[in-house]
Amino acid sequence: MTGEREHEFGSGDPYTVGVEEELFLCDPVTGSQVNVSGAVLERVDPAGGGRVERELHACQIELISPVAHTVGEAVAALSALREDVLETGAGLIGTGTHPRAAEGDAEITDKQRYERIRDLLGDAVATPVGGLHIHVGMPDPETAIRAFNGLRRHLPLLQALGANSPFRHGRDTGLASAREVSVRGWPRSGVPRAMVDYEDFEAATDMLVRAADVPDYTWFWWKLRPHPRLGTVEVRSLDAQSTLEDVSTLVALTHCLARDAATAEPRPDPPTEILEEGMFRAARFGTRARLPDENGHLHPVSELLASALATAREHAADLGCEAELGGLAGLIERGGGAGRQRAVAEVAGIDSLLRELLRVTAPGSR
């Protein structure tokens, strides 16, 4: 019966944060994509907490922070994990798509789940994508659904701020996030509808699992999802980031907005079709986008960010991330990760961009 299944909501402190980042494994000198996750996993020895896991493609690795009370704790763990991987001899690049790798270069990891995904999706998974996933712990199932519904309205803004993949297959795509356009070829990858309550989420999950012929809700690659198995709400709309400074800033904003969505008075749910339009505009234009509100009126990212920051600052002291929120001004000034990448490539070309991405993905760089 729905509503009686096991979940982990409330199993830990509320509003903790955890971060997962999908990074590209590369030649440490040239930045070329390499399919070496198996060799890296054999050699890596995480010493500071967190985990290193395989990803769908053998040219990627997933770094998973421990459950943390502050963004600073989570990102410090990611920094240590990046160092651990670099010590194996591999290079790392944080970006939503590899700028130069050709379609078909990436091998699928030898794992039953990933073989099944390839069978289900075919060439939709030919181009690897790197995401930044942010988990916020929830005290109970109904609060999780309240946070899930409230966070939906912020997804286009978060995607615009996190857009970090203008290049794919050796060319400028004209997009700020080529990752988002690549992922749109996957089923169950868009903005989910708002849920009435946790029972509604369970019933919708049961129906979609049957319709898609998949094992469970972890095969829903939505931009946002409740994660009962972990007791969190998971935001999945951001590209992987190059610098840990940008990771910190974006996680801090998301952490604060999630806590606000969980605790504030609910607002009317924006229509899914408006949010989907906003997601594409965010992917196309990044920090320069004009995004629709729930009535379809367009607003610049800077205006929407000012409003979101005002909300976030109400929670930043309690969550210990006031300093990290301060990084958003610099992120906007640079044009986000997409702006940083284009600024390098326009002057020095793709090869220099790859070397710069190797440099700034290493901990301690800016």
Summarised one tens digit per residue, pLDDT across range 338-364 is 999 999 999 999 999 999 999 999 998
- Give a yes or no: residue 32 inside a domain: yes
pLDDT of the residue at 189? 94
Q: How far is CA 149 from CA 32, 221, 282, 320, in A?
A: 40, 17, 20, 24
Residue 135 lies in a domain: yes
User: Does 9 reside within a domain?
Assistant: no
Question: pLDDT category, 320, cuts 50, 70, 90?
Answer: very high
Name the packing angle between helices 155-162 and 272-285 (round to 10°): 10
pLDDT value for 19? 98
- The CA distance from 271 to 292, in Å, is 11
Cα–chain center distance at 75:
14
Q: pLDDT, tens digit, for every residue of 308-319?
A: 999 999 999 999
Residue 296 has pLDDT above 80, yes or no: yes
Q: What is the pTM of this model?
A: 0.96
User: What DSSP character marks residue 186?
Assistant: S
| 8 belongs to a structural domain | no
Structure-derived torsion over alpha carbons of residues 273, 275, 278, 279, reported in degrees to the nearest 10: -100
Examine the pLDDT at 36 and tell me if it is beyond 90.
Answer: yes
| Cα Rg of the chain, angstroms | 19
Phi, psi of 321 (to 5 degrees): -135, 30
pLDDT, tens digit, for every residue of 142-162?
Answer: 999 999 999 999 999 999 999
E strands, the chain, in order: 17-26, 51-54, 60-64, 91-93, 131-137, 167-168, 171-172, 224-227, 232-239, 290-292, 298-300
What is the predicted pLDDT for the residue at 366? Answer: 66
Q: What is the pLDDT of residues 194-245, one digit of tens each?
A: 999 999 999 999 999 999 999 999 999 999 999 999 999 999 999 999 999 9
Give the three-state DSSP class for 340. Answer: helix
Answer whether residue 297 shows pLDDT above 60: yes
Identify the band that residue 4 occupies on the pLDDT scale cut at 50, 70 and 90. Answer: low
221 close to 113: Cβ distance less than 8 angstroms:
no
Confidence of residue 48 (pLDDT cuts 50, 70, 90): confident
Residue 62 bridge partners (DSSP): 22, 53
What is the distance between the terminal CA atoms of the chain, rounded to a whole angstrom?
Answer: 51
pLDDT at residue 2, rounded to an integer: 41
Domain range holding 183? 17-361
Q: Is residue 10 part of a domain?
A: no
pLDDT at 364: 82
Mean pLDDT over the full length of the chain: 95
Q: What's the rounded Cα separation, in Å, for the pair 74 and 77?
A: 5
Res. 98 pLDDT band, cuts 50 70 90: very high
For residue 4, give every residue at least 6 positions away whose Cβ sits within 8 Å of its Cβ, in sequence order, or none. none
- 269 lies in some domain: yes
In this model, does residue 89 exceed pLDDT 70? yes
Stretch 271-298: mean pLDDT, rounded?
97
Q: How many domains does the chain have?
A: 1
Q: What are phi and psi of 260, to 5 degrees?
A: -65, -45
Residue in the structure block whose two tokens are 């004009």: 290
Kind of pairing between the strands at 232-239 and 60-64: unpaired
pLDDT at 313: 97
Cα separation, 130 vs 301, in Å, equals: 23
β-strands 131-137, 232-239 pairing: antiparallel
In the block, residue with structure tokens 């044009």: 335
Q: 244 with 20: CB under 8 angstroms?
A: no
* Partner residues linked to 167 by β-bridges: 172
Does some domain include residue 12? no
In the chain, the percentage of residues whose pLDDT exceeds 70 is: 99
DSSP H stretches of helix in 177-300: 178-183, 198-212, 244-263, 272-285
Report the alpha-carbon distance of residue 132 to residue 134 in Å, rounded. Answer: 7
Residue 49: the pLDDT is 83
Q: Report the CATH number that the domain containing residue 135 is assigned in CATH.
A: 3.30.590.20
The answer to the question of residue 11 being in a domain is no
